[in-house]
């Protein structure tokens, strides 16, 4: 019995090493953040539309609870949204869902206006469209079962941790922004979640847009300009709303893809495999 913990440790270590070998050929990067970002606002409606029409309410895909009047940050399963006389098309469904809740002060991304929320949801639909193509490839050419078992055992906890942080960015962004940016002003920052991920030598905003540390701010590059991101540019996405052409242009600038499309491709592959293995 004395040696049992050591034996278990050895077995777990060997399994972890084996999983590293199994997953390495996939070339996935930043999986916890990418899978969480791609799935955080999924509804069962969109899962059925883009990925699995037979998915049920017990789908096992945790998502951020957009009803901020409720205590739970995450839903255990992607929720089915019932809207009266709604649309099947994803873009119109997003529009209907947002406008149907626009008078609900504690629903949706805190501090974001209607245009911000619509831009975010259309951005997510763009991700789901891309991930759906990889998902269909997985259905046509199913991977070795070891891939799913290794993917889930390796990344589920990390995905959950990133989802919990996204939930805080959506539900209590002022507290998160104050913590990370250490504002000298006593006025609470009116921050909101931006809903993008940038990394790898382009614009890096932590794992998610909306909150970055002073160190990350100093190190970040700004798209085509190649210069350092400044305080005004840092605030464009997460502490100002889309209210006119200038703020919309700022949003588009930060939403640009790297020229090699590496960010979106990696996002799509991570999300597709995550959903395939879970569903």
- Give tens-digit pLDDT for 21-75: 999 999 999 899 899 999 999 999 999 999 999 999 999 999 999 999 999 999 9
Contacts of 272 (CB under 8 A, 6+ apart): 131, 132, 133, 134, 135, 137, 138
* Structural domain contains residue 223: yes
- Give tens-digit pLDDT for 220-251: 333 333 333 343 334 334 556 888 998 888 77
* Structural domain contains residue 37: yes
Q: Residue 210, by phi and psi: left (phi above 0), alpha (psi -120 to 50) or beta?
A: left
* Structural domain contains residue 114: yes
* Structural domain contains residue 196: yes
Average pLDDT for the chain: 77
**Percent of the residues in the chain that have a pLDDT greater than 70, as a whole number:** 69
* Structural domain contains residue 11: no
Q: What is the mean pLDDT of residues 83-90?
A: 88
Q: What pLDDT, on a 0 to 100 scale, did the predictor assign at position 104? A: 95
Going through the chain in order, the beta strands assigned E by DSSP cover 63-64, 74-75
* Structural domain contains residue 203: yes
Q: What pLDDT, on a 0 to 100 scale, did the predictor assign at position 16? A: 57
* Structural domain contains residue 172: yes
Number of domains the chain is built from = 1
DSSP assigned state of 184: S
Q: What domain range is 158 assigned to? A: 30-279
* Structural domain contains residue 3: no
**Percent of the residues in the chain that have a pLDDT greater than 90, as a whole number:** 52
Tell me the sheet residues that pair with 64.
74
Q: What pLDDT, on a 0 to 100 scale, did the predictor assign at position 173? A: 78
- Give tens-digit pLDDT for 175-199: 766 665 554 443 444 555 543 333 3
- Quickly count helices (H) and strands (E) in the chain: 11, 2
């Amino acid at each position: 019995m004395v040696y049992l913990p050591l034996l278990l440790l050895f077995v777990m270590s060997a399994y972890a090493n084996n999983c590293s070998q199994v997953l390495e050929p996939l070339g996935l990067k930043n999986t916890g953040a990418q899978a969480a970002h791609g799935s955080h606002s999924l509804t069962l409606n969109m899962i059925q539309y883009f990925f699995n029409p037979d998915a049920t309410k017990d789908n096992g895909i945790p998502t951020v609870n957009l009803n901020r009047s409720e205590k739970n940050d995450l839903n255990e399963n992607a929720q089915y949204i019932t809207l009266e006389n709604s649309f099947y098309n994803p873009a119109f469904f997003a529009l209907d869902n947002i406008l149907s809740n626009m008078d609900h002060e504690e629903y949706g991304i805190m501090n974001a206006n209607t245009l911000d929320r619509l831009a975010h949801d259309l951005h997510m639909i763009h991700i789901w469209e891309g991930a759906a193509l990889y998902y269909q490839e997985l259905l046509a050419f199913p991977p070795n079962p070891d891939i799913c078992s290794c993917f889930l055992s390796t990344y589920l906890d990390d995905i959950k941790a990133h989802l919990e942080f996204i939930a805080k960015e959506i539900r209590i962004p002022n507290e998160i922004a104050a913590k990370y940016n250490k504002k000298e002003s006593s006025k609470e920052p009116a921050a909101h979640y931006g809903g993008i991920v940038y990394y790898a030598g382009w614009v890096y905003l932590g794992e998610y847009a909306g909150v970055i540390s002073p160190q990350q701010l100093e190190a970040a590059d700004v798209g085509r300009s190649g210069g350092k991101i400044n305080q005004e540019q840092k605030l464009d996405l997460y502490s100002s709303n889309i209210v006119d052409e200038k703020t919309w242009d700022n949003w588009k600038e930060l939403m640009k893809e790297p020229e090699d499309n590496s960010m979106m491709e990696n996002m799509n592959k991570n999300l597709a495999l995550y959903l395939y293995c879970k569903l």
